[in-house]
Homo-oligomer: A and B are copies of this chain.
Amino acid sequence: MGASKTHIFSIAENELAQAAKVLAHPARIAILEYISKQENCICTDLVDVIGLAQPTISQHLNEIKKIGLLKGTFEGKNLCYCINREKWEALQQYFNAFFSNINQNCC
């Protein structure tokens, strides 16, 4: 086969994995870094900043949108989007909670 057996895992495990998947590409890290550092939400120069073709950037943006990390207008010319702060901070907490759950003292 080759498809992930998502059904044998918990919702929480799948959700964290899915969020991690969005961060699992340097282009998407770079895009998120860039957008989150902007004062305003004009992001038409992403293609120049990142250095990938326009359809590729569009695809990556779509991955980021799908988990709700961006908000704003997404159609037509002069689109305007920025980080969805609530989702952003929720994810931060989610990752933090995952990493905080550790209790071992062996090896």
A residues engaging B (CB < 8 A)? 4-6, 8-10, 13-14, 16-18, 20-30, 32-33, 35-41, 50-52, 71-72, 80-83, 85, 88-89, 91-92, 95-96, 98-104, 106-107
Contacts and interface: CB of A to CB of B under 8 A. Distances in A.
A82 B106 contact: yes
A17 B98 CA distance: 17
B85 A104 contact: yes
A106 B17 contact: no
Given A27-B9, A28-B17, A30-B9, A103 B4 contact: no
B88 A92 contact: no
8 contacts: A4-B25, A17-B23, A17-B29, A20-B22, A23-B98, A36-B101, A40-B104, A82-B104
A16 B25 contact: no
Nearest to A16: B29
